[in-house]
Structure 1
Amino acid sequence: MSKAEKTKQFIIEKTASLFNTKGYISTTLSDITEVTGLTKGSIYGNFENKDEVALEVYKYNARLLKQNMSRSFSEEFPNVIDKLRAFVAFYRKNWKPVFLNGGCPLMNAATEADDTFPDLKNQVKKSFEEWIIKISEVITQGQKAGELNENADAKEYASLFVMLIEGGILLSKTTGEEKFLNQALDRILRIIDKELNKHPS
């Protein structure tokens, strides 16, 4: 990494929680200089404007979430049912640190990413699409292995899981009550066990 690349990465990492907590649009250049300890000139020497910082920070936050979530689908879990259950467990186990850092970066950016910030909107859309595709691939893998109901629409179930998780996070973050996210996760587990699992216990 060059010195410029290191500085750029430093700015992104230092402001990741700030943008996610305060908002991608509400965060000011002064907020960025305060949290990084750098001058405005140094910020502008590495980024064209605040929007570029916001976009790079969103990509960083979304990438971290994706990496952590993807561990649920690793070879550590021998079958697809276990992978899907681990995916649900990830959200149940990690909701507190996620909330302390402002909540789900995808949901936070989605609520801001309207026509006033189309580049951010496009990035959020891409993140959700990638998330749905990843879950769909895991479900399809289970269908091919004979573990999951082959008549189930993988993409439809993947989309439903994302909707339930994001809705649960939204209600829990707004009310401060964990029960809403847990209700959503419990519903996903029932869907996995009763609708997707080809050999329900």
Structure 2
Amino acid sequence: MQKGERTRKHIIAQAAELFNQKGYAGSSLSDITELTGIKKGGIYRHFASKDEIALEAYDYAGSVVSGKMNDAIRAEETASGKLLAYLRVYENVVETPPFIGGCPLLNLATESDDSHPILRERAQRGLKSTLNNMKEIISEGVQNGEFKADLDIEALATFTLSVMEGGIMMSKLEGDNRHIRMNIENLAKYLKGFCIR
């Protein structure tokens, strides 16, 4: 890897942690230069704007979390286990989140809701991708006979993601993992109701 590409990746990785902790609006270009040790001119040699850095930083953070999610999902044999793996990756979100600052999708979606259309569009893509992955897992569960045939796949995916993100938000806000852990326990019980006995 050439020096320019290494520098670019360094900026993205550092900015991803910064944005995920302080948010886009709460992070300045000066924060990025201080964190990376690269002057503004050096930053602008690699990126046209703060928006470009933010988009690539979000993609980077998302890829780190996705890698951990995929590892956790591959370790499970059942569709129920795979859905619960999404939440279990965040089981210790207060002390050891899969990416510093918590869930990149939740953080970006909350901050960009009505204020920043480019970031909002990226968050919408992340939402769609996550829901599609969950729907695929649920569909496989229906096809292999784990789940009932009449299961509303889209509704279960939406519910699972809502339970996950709500648990993360409450645990982070309170500084206590109990919310995400309660949600894991209760989602496991809820999923049993859809299983074929």
Is TM more than 0.5 here?
A: yes
Tell me how many residue pairs correspond in the alignment: 197
Q: Which runs of 5+ in 2 are unaligned?
A: none
Partner residue, 1:192:
191
Instruction: Tell me, in whole angstroms, the C-alpha distance in 1 between the residues paired with 2:95 and 2:45.
Output: 36
Which aligned pairs between 1:123-162 and structure 2 lie closer than 5 A?
123-162=122-161
Of 37-46 and 81-90, deviating more is: 81-90
Distance 1:8 1:181 in 2: 35
State TM-score, norm by structure 2. 0.92
For the residues of structure 1 that align with 2:77 and 2:173, how far apart are their CA atoms?
Answer: 37
Aligned partner of 2:196: which letter?
Answer: K
The structure 1 segments of at least 4 consecutive aligned residues displaced by more than 6 Å after TM superposition are: none
Correspondence list, 1:3-152, <5 A:
3-74=3-74, 76-93=75-92, 96-98=95-97, 101-152=100-151
Letter paired with 1:111: T
Residues 86 and 105 (structure 1), Cα distance of their counterparts in 2 relative to 1, 3 Å cut: closer
Q: CA deviation at 1:95?
A: 5.2
Contact kept in structure 2, 1:73 and 1:138, CA below 8 Å? no
CA RMSD of aligned residues (A): 1.8
- Deviation of 1:160 after TM superposition, in Å, equals 0.3
| SS in structure 1 of the partner of residue 95 of structure 2 | helix
Q: Comparing 91-100 with 184-193, which one deviates more in the overlay?
A: 91-100
Return the offset for 1:73: 2.5
**Secondary structure in 2 aligned to 1:98?**
coil
Deviation at residue 110 of structure 1 after TM alignment: 0.9
Deviation at 1:182, TM superposition (A): 1.6
Q: Which moved more, 1:29-38 or 1:8-17?
A: 8-17
Unaligned runs of 5+ in 1: none
2: CA distance, partners of 1:18 / 1:161:
28
Contact 2:80/2:188, CA 8 A, preserved across alignment: no
CA distance in 2, matches of 1:117, 1:152: 36
| Percent of aligned pairs sharing the same letter | 34
Q: Which amino acid aligns with 1:52?
A: E
The answer (yes or no) to whether the contact 2:93–2:171 under 8 Å persists in 1 is: no
**Structure 1 length normalisation: TM-score?**
0.90
Give the Å deviation of 1:49: 1.1
Deviation (angstroms), 1:87: 3.5
The range that moved more, 162-171 or 181-190, is: 181-190
Return closer, same or farther for 1:65/1:156 CA change in 2, 3 Å cut-off: same
> Greater helix share, 1 or 2?
1
The CA deviation at 1:172 is: 1.2
